Every structure is written in C-alpha cells, then in structure tokens.
Amino acid sequence: MAIDVQSKLIKLATRELIGLIFLGGLTILIVVDRPIADVHGWDRVWHSLWTHIGIAFCVAAVLGVTVDWAIKSDLISNAVNASLGYLLPDELKPELIWIFDQKFLANQSFNVRLEHLPNENTVILHATVNRTIENIAGKTESVDIAGGTEDWYRPNRETTIEKCEYAITRKGDVKPEKTVEIAQKKNAYGVTYGGHKVPLAPGDQIEIFFVFKSPMPDHGMTFLTFRYPIRKPTVTVEADPTLRALITVSHRTKYNHDEPYRGGPFTQSITGVLVPHQPIFVRWHRTDDIQAKEKTLGEVAI
C-alpha cells in the first residue's frame, strides 16, 4: 500500500524550521508596528533591514520545509525500494513495488440472488455491488470510475444495469455529498459504465453503488474483479431451491473450490486484502442434475 507520506512528513518537519517561521513573522510584526513615515536617518535603514531580515526568515523557512519534505519523501521511497530489493528475488521486485505503490484501498460487499427459470434453462442473476474507495496516498489522486457486465446471449433476454451511482464523502465529513448518476453504454458484449476519473484528496472516500441483472445458463458462473485492493470483502448468495451454489476465492494459499455446493442464503467473508484484479467467483448448478449425477456415480466404480 502507498504510505501516507504527507502526514508522516509533517511530523518529521524540524522544530528549527517551524521556529524560524515564527521568528520571521515576529520580526516583521515588531518592525511594521512603527510606520516607515515616522522613521528617519539610521533608524530608517535599520527599519528596512529588519523588515527584509524578517521576510528572509519566512522565505528560508518555507523553502526549508519544502526541501525537507521532498528529501524525506525520496528517502522513504528509496528505503522501501532498497529493502524490497534486498529481500526479494529479481522476479518479484516489480510486483511488490506495484503493490506498495497502490493509492487506494476499498471495502466491498457483493450480493447475488439466483432466480431459476427451469423451463428456459436460465438463471436470472440479480447482483448488487457496493464499494467504498478511500485515498490512502499523501496527495490528491484520481480514482477510476469504470466497470460493467457481460451479456450471455439468452433468447429474448438481455443484461441490464438497474442502477449505477456514486457519492463522495470528504475527510472529516459525516454525510456524503450529492449522489451522482454514472453514465451507461451498451455494446455488443454487454453494458459498461463510467469511463472517467474523479479526484480524491487524502482521506476522502467515494462510494460506488452498482446493481445489474443478467440472464445466464442454469449451469454457470459469474465473477467480480476490481482494479484496487479490497480489505475483507464479503459475498452473499441467495439461490432458489432448484439450484446449488458455491463461492470461490483463490486467496493466498487457500482455495475453497473443494467446499460443497449448497442452497439457500449463505455469506462468506475473505480474510485479509484482495490484491487488484483478484477475482471472486460465484458458481451454480441445477439441483436435479447434481442429484442425478450423484446417484449415477454412486453405482459406478471409478
């Protein structure tokens, strides 16, 4: 993850530079307290000299803080890169540096309802995605607002986005700003949304609410990925009794594909953080087909 450089460097700013700002400001205040029109001779020279000295103190302090910030920022980056370079084999260095350089961190819930139409061999996937993305970098960065869903070309049915919107909550605010609808676009493969960037200051959050409906085969799957890291995402599946479903996430060393398919509502939470573009899968099959195959396999030696 990206380090909150700005907050850390503010703490690292030296007391001497801060004191210099106050000293310069105090010098200017003392001098300008006496109007220049009331000063004559050498006093006028000293008045002008001390005014410029005060201004110089302030300018030097501002430059000092700026340079100090830049140097320490480079030191932090160089130290991290050096540490990664020392600990990792060459093949892994670019990957971990890419992870370290992430500017956003998200929370996400993915809710899926599987409506089965047995006579059409079709499942209507009702999906709701709720993401809250936070800028964890030390400066303003632009978050990508883009996504969509594919069409599975079921007869007389099409994929649609029911709702797509976002709202920004500024750091320190309790309530979000006005909700903004996100533009949608149909193409030959499905429906997409967004395609633009929204700037977020450090600590700001943007919540994206995305609801879509997609007709799919009744033996099928859907998957969800995202371009930013996600902390502890949750997935909830509610399937009709005529279906059995499974949530599959390959995360770290755990791969839960061997867990049994089940019916009814169930929820799974992923521990830790999903890296960008790491998918979450929801798979399903017809209950009667599974039962028929279980019965057949029970009578067949393999």
Do residues 242 and 116 touch, judged by C-beta distance below 8 A?
yes
Tokens in use for 151? 């069409």
A 10 A CB-CB count for 108 gives: 22
pLDDT in tens, 62-93: 666 565 655 655 555 555 555 555 667 778 77
A 10 A CB-CB count for 189 gives: 12
pLDDT in tens, 115-162: 999 999 999 999 999 999 999 998 999 999 999 999 999 888 999 999
How far CA 109 is from CA of 13, 106, 130, 182, 188, in Å, comes to 40, 10, 5, 19, 28
Tell me, yes or no, whether 116 and 260 share the same domain. Answer: yes
Tell me, yes or no, whether 197 and 234 share the same domain. Answer: yes
Q: State the Cα angle at 191 between 160 and 195, rounded to 5°.
A: 135
134 in any annotated domain: yes
Tell me, yes or no, whether 246 and 277 share the same domain. Answer: yes
Q: Identity (one letter) of the amino acid at 72? A: K
300 in any annotated domain: no
Tokens in use for 274? 């999903």
Tell me, yes or no, whether 121 and 269 share the same domain. Answer: yes
177 in any annotated domain: yes
78 in any annotated domain: yes
Tell me, yes or no, whether 253 and 126 share the same domain. Answer: yes
Residue-range definition of the domain harbouring residue 76: 5-98
Tell me, yes or no, whether 271 and 216 share the same domain. Answer: yes
pLDDT in tens, 10-60: 454 555 555 555 555 555 555 555 555 554 555 555 556 656 666 665 666
- CA 152 to chain CA centroid, Å, is 28
| CATH number, domain with residue 192 | 2.60.40
Do residues 200 and 234 touch, judged by C-beta distance below 8 A?
no
Question: Partners of 214 in the beta sheet?
Answer: 125
Give me the half-sphere count of Cα atoms (radius 13 Å) on the Cβ side of residue 263. Answer: 13
Question: What's this model's pTM, rounded to 2 decimal places?
Answer: 0.71
| End position of a domain, from candidates 98, 126, 148 | 98
pLDDT in tens, 264-277: 899 988 888 999 99
Tell me, yes or no, whether 48 and 194 share the same domain. Answer: no
Please count the structural domains in the chain: 2
pLDDT at 97: 80
pLDDT at 5: 46
118 in any annotated domain: yes
| End position of a domain, from candidates 62, 83, 98 | 98
